[in-house]
Amino acid sequence: MTISKAPGPRMTQRRIAELVGVSQATVSLVLNGKADEASRIPAATRDRVLEVIRETRYVADPAARRLAGVGNKILGVFTYESAFPTATQDFYTPLLTGIEAAAEELGCDLLLLTSAPVIDGRRRLLHEQNRLGLVDGCLLLGLEMDTAELEQLVAEGFPFVAIGRREAQGVPYVGADYVGGTAELVRRAYALGHRRFAYVHLTSTGESILDRQRGLHEEIAALGDATVLMRPSDGTDSSADWRAVRDSGATVLIAETVRIADDLLDHAKADGVDVPSDLSVIALGDVTTASRQDVDLTRLVPPRTLLASEATLLLARILDPSHEVSPEEARTLLDCAIVDGATLAPLRATP
C-alpha cells in the first residue's frame, strides 16, 4: 500500500444538503443550533440532517468558519525565546502544563507557533505567513518581548495575554509578584540579623528582572540600615563574581538564578566558606528551578503552572463577548512561593 496523498473531496455542507434533499443553508442552520430562533426548522427535518451528518462524520471546515467570522476555540501559544519551549524544559514545561490544562477545561485547541522565524536574535510573531489569523487569541511567553509588536497587537485590538508582567501600555498579562517576593526574602534575612547584602544579577531589561531589583532596592531602602552590593553578571565569569561577593563582606548572597547560586556555592565551598553559617544564600530563581546540587536552596519560586492557566483563563474571558474585562482584571500579579530552604540562617554572633 502506498500512502494516499490526495485527501479526496472533503465532505461539505452542500453534499450533506444534497443527500438530505434540503439546501446548504438549512444544514448550516441545523449545525449551529439556530434552527429554533430566527429560522424555523421543524424537528423532523433537523433530525434527518443530523442523521446524515452523523453517518458521514462530517465536520465543518474551521478555516471556512473562521472566514465567515465565527470563533474557532483555538488559542495561539507563542514564545519570544529563540528555541521553542520544551528545549529549556524546566522553564517551559510547567507553563505548557498550565496552558494545556486550562485549554482542555475550556475545550480549546492550542496552536503552537513554532514556525515564527528568528530575526535579530529574537522571534517574530508578526511575520509574513504567520498563523495568527486562525486563532481566536494568543498567549505570549518569554523573558523579554518585543514592545513594538505588543503595541501593534494592542492597537489592532488583537486579543492576547502575556505571561509575565509587561510595561507596555494596555497589554493584558498575568505575572508573578517578584517585587513582593524579593522584598519578603530581604525582610526575612534582615530579621535574622543580616545587614550586608550582595546581589548577583542579570543585566537584561526584562520586566521580571527589573521587578526583582526594584523589590530588593525598595526593601533595602525601607529597612534603613542595610546595604547592598550590586554585581551585574552574565554568568560566564563566576570566579570574578565570587570574588566581588566575598570582598564585599556581605553576609547574604542573593543570586538572580539558581544557576548563578549553584556556581557561587561551588566557589564558596572551594574557599572554605560554609553555607549558611558563614554566608547565607538566596536564589530568586528563573530560567531553571532545579538545583543541580543537593543543597536545599532558600529561594523564590514563581507559580508557573498557575500563572499559565490563569493567563489562559483570562484570555478566554477577554474573548467572551458577554463579559467586559476591566483593565485591572486584565493585569494581574500572583504571589511567588518562598521555599524555606537550608541556605538562609541567622547572622553569626561574631563574624
Partner DNA sequence: TGATCCTGCTCATACGCATTAGCAAACGCG
Partner DNA sequence: CGCGTTTGCTAATGCGTATGAGCAGGATCA
Task: Write out the residues near DNA by the rule CB under 7 A.
Answer: 9-10, 12-14, 17, 21-26, 28-29, 31-32, 34, 38-42, 44-45, 58, 60-61, 64-65, 67-70
Backbone angles phi, psi at 25, to 5 degrees: -60, -40
For a second copy, which is the closer residue by CB, 53 or 244? 53
- Binds 34: which of a second copy, DNA, none (CB < 5-8 Å by kind): DNA
Query: What is the C-alpha to C-alpha distance for residues 306 and 98, in angstroms, rounded to an integer?
Result: 6
The length of the chain is: 351
**H/E run at residue 28:** helix 24-31
Nearer to a second copy, 233 or 289 (CB): 289
In the bound state with a second copy, the residue whose beta carbon lies nearer, of 109 and 247, is: 109
Query: In whole angstroms, what is the distance from residue 149 CA to residue 11 CA?
Result: 39
Residue 133 or 346: the one with the smaller Cβ distance to DNA is 133
Cα–Cα distance, 196 to 280 (Å, whole number): 11
| Distance in Å, CB of 173 to DNA, minimum | 28
* Cell representation of residue 257: 538564578
Return the number of the residue (19 or 308) whose C-beta is nearest a second copy. Answer: 308
Contacting a second copy within 48-107 (CB under 8 A): 53, 57, 59-64, 66-67, 72-74, 83-87, 89, 93, 96-97, 100-101, 103-104, 107
Interface with a second copy, residue 332, by CB under 8 A: no
**Which of 158, 210, 301, 333 is the binder for a second copy (CB under 8 A)?**
158
Pairing of strands 337-339, 298-301: antiparallel
Shortest Å, Cβ 73 to DNA: 12
The site partner of 240 among DNA, a second copy, none (C-beta below 5 to 8 Å per kind) is: none
Residue 22 binding: pick among a second copy, DNA, none (C-beta 5-8 Å cut-off by kind): DNA
4 binds, among a second copy, DNA, none (CB under 5 to 8 A by kind): a second copy
What is the Cα gyration radius of the chain?
27
Q: Cβ distance 265 to 281 under 8 Å?
A: yes
Amino acid identity for residue 221 in this structure: A
Query: Binding mask 11-50 vs a second copy (x if CB under 8 A, - otherwise)?
Result: ----------------------------------------
How is residue 201 annotated by DSSP?
A: E
Instruction: Specify the residue, 17 or 174, whose C-beta has the smaller distance to DNA.
Output: 17
Among 208, 191, 189, 204, which Cα is nearest to 254's? 189
Q: How far is the CB of 113 from a second copy (least distance, A)?
A: 5
Helix (H) or strand (E) holding 163: strand 160-163
Provide the β-strand partners of residue 163.
174
* DSSP calls for 242-268: HHHHHHHT-SEEEESSHHHHHHHHHHH
DSSP 57-115: T----HHHHHHTT----EEEEEE-SSS-GGGGHHHHHHHHHHHHHHHHHHT-EEEE-TT
Structural contact between residues 298 and 182, judged by C-beta atoms closer than 8 angstroms: no
**196-201 vs 227-232, strand pairing mode:** parallel
Using rule CB under 8 A, residue 2 touches a second copy? yes
Q: Of these, 16, 49, 111, 275, which contacts a second copy (CB under 8 A)?
A: 111
CB of 248 to DNA, least distance (A): 58
CA distance 143 to 181: 18
**Minimum CB separation from DNA for residue 320, in Å?**
16
Binding site for a second copy (CB under 8 A): 1-8, 10, 53, 57, 59-64, 66-67, 72-74, 83-87, 89, 93, 96-97, 100-101, 103-104, 107-115, 126-134, 152, 156-159, 169-170, 172, 318-319, 321, 324-327, 330
